[in-house]
Structure 1
Amino acid sequence: MSADEGCQARKAEARHRLREEARRHGEVERRTASEQLCGRLQARAEWIAARYVLGFFPLPSEPDIRPVLEAALRDGKRLALPRFRSGSGDYEPVEIRDLAQDLVPGAFGIREPADTCRVSSMNPLDLILVPGIGFDLAFGRLGRGKGHYDRLLAGTDAWVVGVGFDWQVEVAVPTEPHDIPLDFLVTPSRWLERLQVC
């Protein structure tokens, strides 16, 4: 087995383990934890200072950050969400103005901006919220295995914030050189910051 195959096997095992752990937490616990996470995120100076945010529309297994997205629009921030481009297999940031009106069912069963919404660039973004199946204390992120977010985040100067439940955080998740590290990690109980070494 090659090193790459070994890493892929470790990632698959970690995804399975973390999905099993997620099944142990019910809807009420998820809702309460999501509310705590949203409050923690909105209190941060990084969130308050951000003028243009790339968020995500949460799946049932992810923290419900819709209140944060609504607050961003209400507070006058620009907001974009990812939209899947089937031709390239990548996500693109698309600006929205209304969560109820601008989103349609998209790829993978995830709500995403309609075709009538304007495609944005990654360059003006200040802060990017990213989901994951798992996260670690070295600011690694374990996604769903297709590399969509790693390709989306490549080359951005925006702060990248992992958004997860406490039970999604492990000491270490398997990562590869192309996996983009987080700058911050927010959970219901904590905000972690990766120290930048000059």
Structure 2
Amino acid sequence: MSDAKDIKAHVRAQVRAELRHLPPQDRRVMSARACALLKQQPVWQRARAILFYAPLDDELDTSLLWPEATAENKLIALPRFDTAKGGYVVRQVLEVNRPLPRGKFGIPEPPAEAPDLALNQLDLALVPGVAFDLSGRRIGRGYGYYDRLLASVPAIKCGVAFDQQITAELPVEPHDVRLDCILTPTRWRTFGQRAVVK
């Protein structure tokens, strides 16, 4: 096992332990704060098609934005695991109030009949993870599926996290995809010029 893999495993364990102590009510409040902060950003305001994620219990809940995105005529998309392709594809969410079926990893995802959305149609990708640093690096759950999807997404990639998920500099491996910005309940940080929309 490489040093980077060892460090990532240690960071995952540390961050997950910290998130376990975060009460559900605090998670809801922090999610609402982060969503309010995102709505102030030009990258959100200009985006017409957004790749969201269906949040797990230890992830910040951006689905709070779905009704507003729908009202603003933004396309809402989610990853769906395609067993035949061995990775994620992007599908539209047409009914934001309809419960989503659980996919391969127990993560809610669009049903099989949901329409595809071409990756080059996306303007903004909201990216979950276990840990992030303030130079645009992220650690996911360790399977690499999300990084493979992100590598093909030309949209602005925005990491979404609780403040407890921000750590010191994270190790980088060749397959890791760098983010353009990061959102927490208390901050918005951009890396480079892609996420600086005027």
Fold shared per TM-score above 0.5: yes
Whether the 8 Å CA contact 2:52–2:63 is kept in 1: the answer is no
Bigger shift: residues 184-193 or 59-68: 59-68
Whether the 8 Å CA contact 2:147–2:176 is kept in 1: the answer is yes
Letter in 2 for 1:65: T
In structure 2, the residue matched to 1:120 is 117
Pair 1:34 & 2:54 matched: no
Whether the 8 Å CA contact 1:53–1:77 is kept in 2: the answer is yes
Shift of 1:85: 1.1
CA RMSD of aligned residues (A): 1.5
Give the strand-richer structure, 1 or 2.
Answer: 1
TM-score after normalising by structure 2: 0.93
Give the whole-Å Cα distance in 2 for the aligned partners of 1:42 and 1:109: 29
Pair 1:161 & 2:158 matched: yes
Whether the 8 Å CA contact 1:73–1:98 is kept in 2: the answer is no
Shift of 1:102: 6.7
What secondary structure is seen at the aligned counterpart in 2 of 1:146? coil
Shift of 1:155: 3.4
Shift of 1:113: 0.3
In structure 1, the residue matched to 2:59 is 62
Gap regions ≥5 residues in structure 1: none
Gap regions ≥5 residues in structure 2: none
Pair 1:7 & 2:4 matched: yes
1:61-118 deviation digits (Å, cap 9, x = unpaired): 1011111122211210011100011233311000111123372121211110001111
1:175-198 deviation digits (Å, cap 9, x = unpaired): 21220000010000000000249x
Give the whole-Å Cα distance in 2 for the aligned partners of 1:72 and 1:104: 21
Give the whole-Å Cα distance in 2 for the aligned partners of 1:196 and 1:155: 19
Give the whole-Å Cα distance in 2 for the aligned partners of 1:112 and 1:181: 24
Q: Percent identity?
A: 39
Pair 1:95 & 2:92 matched: yes
TM-score after normalising by structure 1: 0.93
Give the whole-Å Cα distance in 1 for the aligned partners of 2:85 and 2:170: 28
1:10-67 deviation digits (Å, cap 9, x = unpaired): 1111100110111121111111111100100111111010001110110011011111
Give the whole-Å Cα distance in 2 for the aligned partners of 1:106 and 1:54: 17
